[in-house]
């Protein structure tokens, strides 16, 4: 089956610091999506990537679709307390999303 590894599992950072997380896979995907989930809520779409090598920003968030189509990273610059939550990569293949294990982000004011 497809293997998807998301790292790190958790991060504890100081407000204002930059954050980086990534996902790697043994499979090739056509789309990489990044979501954020707050406790007790559904995931919210942050960034969608559709082309290998594509680099896309959404405010303080930047994500890239790896050139091999097997990986993606998400960067958050100048973190703030409301960035706290769980971030998931979710590549799409055949219309289905495969969710990574998640990166739990904690931001200390």
Point out which residues bind other proteins (CB under 8 A).
Answer: 30-31, 33, 35, 40-45, 48, 50, 88, 90, 92, 95-102
Shortest spacing between CB 46 and other proteins, in angstroms: 11
Place of tokens 């890239």: 64
Shortest spacing between CB 21 and other proteins, in angstroms: 14
Shortest spacing between CB 16 and other proteins, in angstroms: 28
Decide whether 40 or 59 has the Cβ nearer to other proteins: 40
Decide whether 13 or 86 has the Cβ nearer to other proteins: 86
> What is d(CA 94, CA 40) in angstroms, rounded to the nearest whole number?
28
> What is d(CA 52, CA 77) in angstroms, rounded to the nearest whole number?
23
> What is d(CA 8, CA 30) in angstroms, rounded to the nearest whole number?
23
- In sequence order, the 6+-apart residues with CB closer than 8 A to the CB of 47 are 33, 34, 56, 57, 58, 61, 63, 74
Decide whether 45 or 78 has the Cβ nearer to other proteins: 45
Which two three-digit tokens encode residue 85? 């939550």
Shortest spacing between CB 78 and other proteins, in angstroms: 27
């Amino acid at each position: 089956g497809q293997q998807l590894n998301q790292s790190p599992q958790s991060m504890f950072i100081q407000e204002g610091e930059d954050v980086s997380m990534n996902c790697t896979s043994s499979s090739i995907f056509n789309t990489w999506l990044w979501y954020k989930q707050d406790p007790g809520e559904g995931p919210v779409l942050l960034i969608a990537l559709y082309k290998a090598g594509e680099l896309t920003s959404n405010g303080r968030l930047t994500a890239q679709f790896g050139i091999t189509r097997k990986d993606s990273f998400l960067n958050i610059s100048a973190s703030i307390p409301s960035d706290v939550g769980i971030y998931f990569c979710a590549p799409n293949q055949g219309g289905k999303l495969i969710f990574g294990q998640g990166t739990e982000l904690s931001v200390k004011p």
